[in-house]
Amino acid sequence: MKKLTDLKELRLKANDIREDIIKSLYEAGSGHSAGPLGMADVFTALFFNVAKIKPDQPEWPERDRILLSNGHICPVLYASMAHAGYFPTEELMTLRKLGSRLQGHPHRTSLPGLETTSGPLGSGTSQAAGIAKALKMNGTNEHVWCLTSDGEQQEGNTWEGAMFAAAYKLDNLTVIMDRNYIQIDGNTEDIMALDPLDEKYRAFNWHVMEVDGHNMEAVIDAMEKSKNQREKPTLILANVIPGKGVKYMENDYTWHGNPPKTEEQLNDALADLAELRKSIEENKMS
C-alpha cells in the first residue's frame, strides 16, 4: 500500500472516507453518523501514514494491531480499510445488510484485517493492553493502536485496562480517544462528567497528549511521538467535532446513532463534503 505523506493528499483521502461513510449509512438505513465523521482524519492518519500494515497480507505477523473499542463507529473503520485495500470499496454499500461482512459492530472472523470483535463498550483498552503485553512477552516490535470513545470512559473495565497497561509499562500501546463530548443521550459532561481526563490518565501513570483531531499534521506528529515513548502507555486525546464535514450533523448529539434517511439529507451531506473538498484543494484549511 502506498504511504501518503502529502498533507493535502491525506485530507482529501479523509474526505473520500467521509463521503463513503455517508453513502454506506444511507444505503444501510441505520447506523451511527456523528462519530465516524468526526474520526475520519484520525483514521486516515493511522491507516495511510503511521501504522505498519500490509492490507494485501492482513495476517502479516509484523503488522501493527489496530483495535476499535467503540464498535458503533465502524463505518469509518470499514471505509478506511476499503480505501487502504483490504477489500473493494464497492462492498461498503453492503453495510449492515443481511449476510454482509460489514456488520453493525465489527466481528473479527467476518472480515480479514479485523483484530477484535467489538460491541460492548469499555472492553477495548483491556483487549489492547492484553495484546500489547503478549507482544512484549514475544519480544517483538509491533505497536498496538486502540481507538476508543470518551463515553466509554464511564465503564469500569476501561480503568482496569488502564491500570494493567501502566503496571506493565506497555509503551507499545497507544490509545486514541474520540473526545467529541457526545453520547447517545446528550453531552458527556451532563450525563456523567469525565473531565479532567488528561489528569486522570496521568494519575494512572500514562503519557498523555492532546491534539486537534482535525489537524492532520498534529495528529501524525502525536502518533509518531507515542511510538517513541518509553516505560509508559500513551493516551492521545483527539478533540474532534462530531459529524465533522456535514453541517446539519456537527455538534448535534441526536446524530450519534442516526444515519441520513432521506434523499434530501443525503444530498445535503454530500454537498457539504463537496464544499469541504474544494476548500482542501484550494488550500483554505489547515
The per-residue DSSP string of 152-193 comes to GGGSHHHHHHHHHHHHTT-TTEEEEEEE-SEETTEEHHHHS-
Half-sphere exposure (Cβ direction) of 133: Cα atoms closer than 13 Å: 15
Mean pLDDT within 42-53: 98
Say whether pLDDT at 284 is over 90.
no
Q: Of 15, 26, 82, whose CA–CA distance to 55 is shortest?
A: 82
What are the structural domain ranges in the chain? 7-281
Q: How confident is the model at residue 119 (pLDDT cuts 50, 70, 90)?
A: confident
Phi, psi of 140 (to 5 degrees): -105, 170
Overall average pLDDT of the 238-253 stretch: 98
Check whether 16 has a pLDDT greater than 70: yes
Residue 283 confidence (pLDDT): 83
Per the listing, cell 483514521 goes with 43
Segment 139-161 shows an average pLDDT of 96
Question: Which candidate, 152, 27, 153, 150, places its Cα nearest to that of 78?
Answer: 27
Give per-residue burial for 66-84: e unless 16+ CB within 10 Å, then b. bbbbbbbbbbbbbbbbbbb
- The 8-class DSSP code of residue 64 comes to P
pLDDT tens by residue, 101-117:
999 999 999 999 999 99
Q: Hey, what's the cell of 73? A: 463507529
User: How far is the C-alpha of 69 from the C-alpha of 72, rounded, in Å?
Assistant: 9
Mean per-residue pLDDT for 215-240? 98
Q: What is the pTM of this model?
A: 0.97
Query: How would you class 34 by CB atoms within 10 Å of its CB: exposed for 0-12, middle for 13-18, buried for 19 or more?
Result: buried
8 pLDDT exceeds 60?
yes
Q: Does the pLDDT value for residue 168 go beyond 60?
A: yes
Of the candidates 177, 199, 176, 179, the residue with the CA atom closest to the CA atom of residue 187: 179
* pLDDT tens readout for residues 261-277: 999 999 999 999 999 99
Instruction: Report the pLDDT averaged over residues 145-157.
Output: 97
Per-residue model confidence (pLDDT) at position 285: 59
Q: Which amino acid is at 210?
A: E
Asked if 256 contacts 32 with a C-beta cutoff of 8 angstroms, the reply is yes
CA separation for the pair 223, 263 (Å, rounded): 38
pLDDT at residue 65 greater than cutoff 80 = yes
Q: Which CATH superfamily is domain 7-281 in?
A: Thiamin diphosphate (ThDP)-binding fold, Pyr/PP domains (3.40.50.970)
Q: What long-range pairs does 53-62 form, CB within 8 A, spacing at least 24?
A: 53/1, 53/84, 54/1, 55/1, 55/81, 55/84, 55/85, 55/86, 55/113, 56/1, 56/85, 58/86, 58/112, 58/113, 59/112, 61/140, 62/140, 62/141, 62/142
The three cell numbers locating residue 109: 472472523
Average pLDDT of the segment spanning 231-237: 98
Name the residue with cell 474532534. Answer: 240
